[in-house]
Chain A
């Protein structure tokens, strides 16, 4: 197994407040890794470090090192904009742009100049929708407003939008927390298909979801990485008492 991300002693603080401490973990390529833990444990903060989305937050400082394919993403020669094209992100609340479905998917390819002409752009959009399993549902209304779709469809639009840039990694920050079980099932199915070609890291509050979709799971608590192991191991024989307590629902 090769590592996609390698983080060493990552520490993030907002002002004086430390959000996460001393996080060292390696994330493997082309599998789904789940980050679980109670609210405020720092899992989303850690996720946002991986594509430098924390940069836009004021008074946020980051220590330690994060390597993507042996390259320090906080190094001086890294442009966060390019990094985010390689490490895409899907957010908790579906946030399609108030534009047509087509323009939503085409947004990334357009700004990165991935298509040299209209038919190429069209191919990218169609492929992305196909991969996101949305094509059949929206093929007749690509020019309709994306904000008019249902919540689950909107979230899949966001995933398709991320795929369209051909990232290497997709970060998902609680992508199903606002969705019903059917829409959630669709997205989980989609994640399983996508992880063949992408590395996926998902933050989730649902332990069932983590158990269902992920191959490896990291358990965070109060800013510390408590345990990181194969998902099967974590959910059947956790090594740490806190992990045991959390997954059995004793706290959190």
Chain B
């Protein structure tokens, strides 16, 4: 007899729902018998029963579904090893894989031993599924009955349910934090491996970036050089150009939308601007490489300047256009959140609209505006596709926007794509770059936060 996962899950859900209604009507009956009032609403008792029946059993289901197969594999691994003590680890794994595939019917074989093992394996799995279903359903039924026995009109179902919900919120927050910490740690340890191979200070202060090392050990190649300054400078240059485009246009359009536009114009302009945010960055990349770059090149020629066909200015300008909706949309919301009473107060004193905006509204909106700009800067620093397509891969140490530069993210992509070994210095340098980028954006965040704290004008 097999009990598939979906079947077990729906039985569990059905049982829990049953206990919900059972407890809900049960508590009313109990209260009537004792001619007492229930302490919480009947639905709270229902929810309590549902949680009791569902949550522990669901966790058991989860553990058995994820852990069970691993456990069986381990048993069979040991079994194979006992049968053939001479085999080494990888050969045992190979046989185990074969057993699993035969038991699934994916491949067939004539070897008696393997067919036997595969049969056992299949049986073990069926047993696992059977007992999993049994345990989960019994557990749900048992806990559901226990709780409905324990529920009295005076017992505090609401508190337990609400406590549980608070714990769910807490758990969600913890998951988010732990994931972040895990990402940072993994980045950190990989970067540490890189710094074992390459001097830390040569990396962060080095002026030369040339990660050309031999891909295979038998190849002849130059010694690689991993100074991140040119790459970081490229990121900064392109982000700076992008912000020069995005901040004025985004902020001014936000002021127009929030303060001057009639509702009709607003209803048209705001969604149109937000379309910009929906365009995939690859498309922006095309635009940068095929339209913007030649355009800047032409202008450069007519002014007698030598513009590289993959220039920082083309990538930066297009990136700026991409970021406009972030700034304009967020700033618009922030400006509109400034209370109307402040506008009235200013107007009532005979201030013009411009004075009101400049002296009252923008200062009051500053923290939000900085938040918007910060989000945009993070986008710019993290943006990869446009730069890959329009700014190139050559790590020039320059702040000339007309030359071709590369950025941290682009280098990470080019270091990690293709055939690479994961203990190679070239691959590991990507993690070094990643860590550097992480610290850089962290500093930026802290800096912006402190500015916005200092400038904040609180309105109530």
A residues neighboring B (CB under 8 Å)? 51, 53, 56, 58, 81-86, 88-91, 93, 95-99, 107-108, 111-112, 145, 147, 158, 161-162, 165, 171
What 0/1 pattern do residues 349 to 368 of B give for CB contact below 8 A with A? 11110010001100110000
Partner of A81 from B342, B350, B359 at Cβ < 8 Å: B350
Main SS class of interface, B: helix
Collect the chain A residues with CB atoms within 8 Å of residue B263's CB: 58
> Interface residues of B, CB < 8 Å — how many?
24
Contact A99–B347 (Cβ < 8 Å) = no
User: In whole Å, how far is B54's beta carbon from the nearest beta carbon of chain A?
Assistant: 49
A selection of 11 A-B contacts at a CB cut-off of 8 Å is A53-B344, A56-B347, A81-B350, A85-B349, A86-B350, A89-B344, A95-B339, A95-B342, A98-B364, A111-B352, A147-B460
User: In whole Å, how far is A175's beta carbon from the nearest beta carbon of chain B?
Assistant: 12
Tell me, in angstroms, the Cα distance from A95 to B460 when the chains sit together. Answer: 9
The 9 closest A-B pairs by CB, nearest first: A85-B350, A89-B348, A98-B457, A95-B341, A84-B350, A95-B345, A98-B459, A108-B349, A111-B355
Tell me, in angstroms, the Cα distance from A108 to B348 when the chains sit together. Answer: 10
User: In whole Å, how far is B340's beta carbon from the nearest beta carbon of chain A?
Assistant: 9
Collect the chain B residues with CB atoms within 8 Å of residue A165's CB: 349-350
Collect the chain B residues with CB atoms within 8 Å of residue A88's CB: 348-350
B346, CB-defined interface residue at 8 Å: yes
Tell me, in angstroms, the Cα distance from A96 to B364 when the chains sit together. Answer: 12
User: In whole Å, how far is B70's beta carbon from the nearest beta carbon of chain A?
Assistant: 59
Partner of A107 from B344, B346, B459 at Cβ < 8 Å: B346
Collect the chain B residues with CB atoms within 8 Å of residue A95's CB: 339, 341-342, 344-345
Interface centre among A81, A83, A98, A158 (most CB of B within 10 A): A98
B262, CB-defined interface residue at 8 Å: yes
Least CB separation from A96: chain B residue: B345
Collect the chain B residues with CB atoms within 8 Å of residue A96's CB: 345
B458, CB-defined interface residue at 8 Å: yes
Least CB separation from A100: chain B residue: B457
User: In whole Å, how far is B405's beta carbon from the nearest beta carbon of chain A?
Assistant: 42
Tell me, in angstroms, the Cα distance from A93 to B342 when the chains sit together. Answer: 10
Interface centre among B262, B343, B347, B364 (most CB of A within 10 A): B347
Interface centre among B345, B346, B359, B458 (most CB of A within 10 A): B345
Collect the chain B residues with CB atoms within 8 Å of residue A108's CB: 349-351
Collect the chain B residues with CB atoms within 8 Å of residue A107's CB: 346, 349, 351, 359-360
Least CB separation from A52: chain B residue: B347
Collect the chain A residues with CB atoms within 8 Å of residue B348's CB: 51, 53, 84, 88-91, 162, 171
Contact A53–B345 (Cβ < 8 Å) = no
Contact B352–A81 (Cβ < 8 Å) = yes
Tell me, in angstroms, the Cα distance from A90 to B263 when the chains sit together. Answer: 28
**Contacts known (A97-B342, A98-B364); A82 close to B350, Cβ less than 8 A:** yes
What 0/1 pattern do residues 362 to 399 of B give for CB contact below 8 A with A? 01100000000000000000000000000000000000
